[in-house]
Amino acid sequence: MRFSWLTAASKLDVNRSLLPAALDQAERYLKTRSAQPVVPNQAILDRLKNFDEPLPEYPSDPFEILSTLEIDGAAATVASTGPNYYGFVTGGTLPIALASRWISDTWDQNSALAVMSPIAAKLEGLVAQWLTELFEFPDETAVGLVSGSSVASLCALTAARDSLLERVGWSTQQRGLFGAPPLKIFAPDSVHSAIPKALRILGFGEEHIHSLATDGQGRIDPKNLPQLDAQSVLILQAGQVCSGAFDDFEQIIPAAQAAGAWVHIDGAFGLWAAASSRLRHLTRGIALADSCSVDAHKTLNVPYDSGIVLCRRPEALSRALTASASYLVTDHGRDGMMLTPEMSRRARGIELWATLKFLGRQGLSDLVEHFHHLAEQLRSLLKTSEYEILNEDGFNQVLLALKDDVATDRALALIQDSKEVWLSGATWQGKRVIRVSICNWQTEPKDITRLAAIMAKAAERAS
């Protein structure tokens, strides 16, 4: 018996009518989203109740489904794709990245094995080569494409754990973790929360994780490194999530590796500074690290979800993440699942390839420097305001506070309530702060001028 929806879909000729309808709807969204509030108001949020219903007993009209998404769904989105969203560290989406993502999703390729999708394997391999060259890692570096830098860090730290234990004769593949020799994790006291989360998943408790004191910018002092050894993992940062600061990789990494430690760099958004001749000094020495994690859906402005793990020890990454079974057909090209936790995987390499090809080295450099210039512009505009600028040179981050925590939080609330722009807050070294993350290709100097005016007005009202 054929499914009932199949007959209906055949009559509607979905491929010739539904997909163009979806494209038209997407185009209307892109044309009108900038005229809407950056974040939805309560009236819009109340309309989300229209989605509440029991699972339908019978198939629904696909055009009515699209209509419901447009009428009650589109307005409830956050305009993170536009120029006035500065919250967290959220990138936009370059048109070529979105277009190639649509093509990729239409192809619906499983990039687990080369035999499953030759085109996905080819482009993923090319992206790996380009990124290795861009970050000046050794040619043999293993590159895995995952959902984000959180999972990229998980992959890298898995390789670190297994590699360090292997050195002392303990195979996690054979013996698991129960009874394994202890390892020590050293991370800055300002480390991103994704790192402790990944470490917990890997079996490390709080007693294994040692916080290292940092300076006012969130950097580790190379002179105050702890006693490291061959059973240590050291976490460094390329772009601290609040201040945007970079650790001194050239000094710290050789010293750590001389003691036998594994060094991992969390470079979710900051690692891309390596693409700019003006900013490359911030990342000098990253290629010495054993592993790095970075997001493409932040600074590179490709759609979610797109993270990258780079590991200078390819055998360590593949040994930690590989899988085998009689039905797996390998050695027909790049088998991406052997470098990632996922087996069935979306073909993320397609939009990454398209975006990197579109930008080229010069375009990528221009994009990175564009964010930096805008951050410098905001600093300049707010220099004489009531805000104290707390970070020195945060790449694309501006960190601010008012005279006390109450005033800072009040100003942040006023800015968010305006619905014109959106910023996020945090607690930084015991002080409430406002974080401005400039990470969208559409943001222009005029947007920063407007942002500064909104922020200055909020500061006056909050003080």
pLDDT of 221-268, one tens digit each?
Answer: 999 999 999 999 999 999 999 999 999 999 999 999 999 999 999 999
- Number of Cβ within 10 Å of residue 326's Cβ equals 4
pLDDT, residue 13, reads 64
CATH architecture of 99-355: 3-Layer(aba) Sandwich (3.40)
- Beta strands 291-295 and 262-266, pairing class: parallel
From 276, 294, 161, select the one nearest 237 (Cα to Cα).
Answer: 294
Provide mean pLDDT across the span 143-170.
97
Give the pLDDT band (50/70/90) at residue 190.
very high
pLDDT, residue 7, reads 60
Provide mean pLDDT across the span 387-412.
96
| In contact, 238 and 285? CB cutoff 8 Å | no
pLDDT tens digit string along 110-152? 999 999 999 999 999 999 999 999 999 999 999 999 999 999 9
Provide mean pLDDT across the span 423-436.
97
Task: Tell me which of 1-5, 9-13, 266-270, 364-368 is least confident.
Answer: 1-5
Give the pLDDT band (50/70/90) at residue 99.
very high
pLDDT tens digit string along 26-73? 999 999 888 888 999 999 999 999 999 999 999 899 999 999 999 999
Report CA-CA distances (Å) from 255 to 230, 313, 404: 12, 18, 40
Rounded Cα distance between 109 and 441, Å, is 28
Topology match between the domains 99-355 and 359-462:
no
CA dihedral 392, 360, 355, 39 (to 10 degrees): 30
pTM above 0.75, yes or no: yes
The domains of the chain are located at 4-73, 99-355, 359-462
- Number of Cβ within 10 Å of residue 57's Cβ equals 5
From 397, 398, 417, select the one nearest 409 (Cα to Cα).
Answer: 417
What one-character-per-residue DSSP string does 121-162 give?
HHHHHHHHHHHHHHTT--TT-EEEEESSHHHHHHHHHHHHHH
Rounded Cα distance between 307 and 81, Å, is 18
Q: What fold characterizes domain 359-462?
A: Aspartate Aminotransferase, domain 1 (3.90.1150)
Residue 387 pLDDT more than 80? yes
Provide mean pLDDT across the span 166-173.
95
Rg (CA), the chain: 24
Q: Enumerate residues 6+ apart whose C-beta is below 8 A from 368.
A: 272, 273, 275, 276, 279, 299
Task: Tell me which of 10-24, 102-116, 174-188, 436-450 is least confident.
Answer: 10-24
Average pLDDT score over the chain: 94
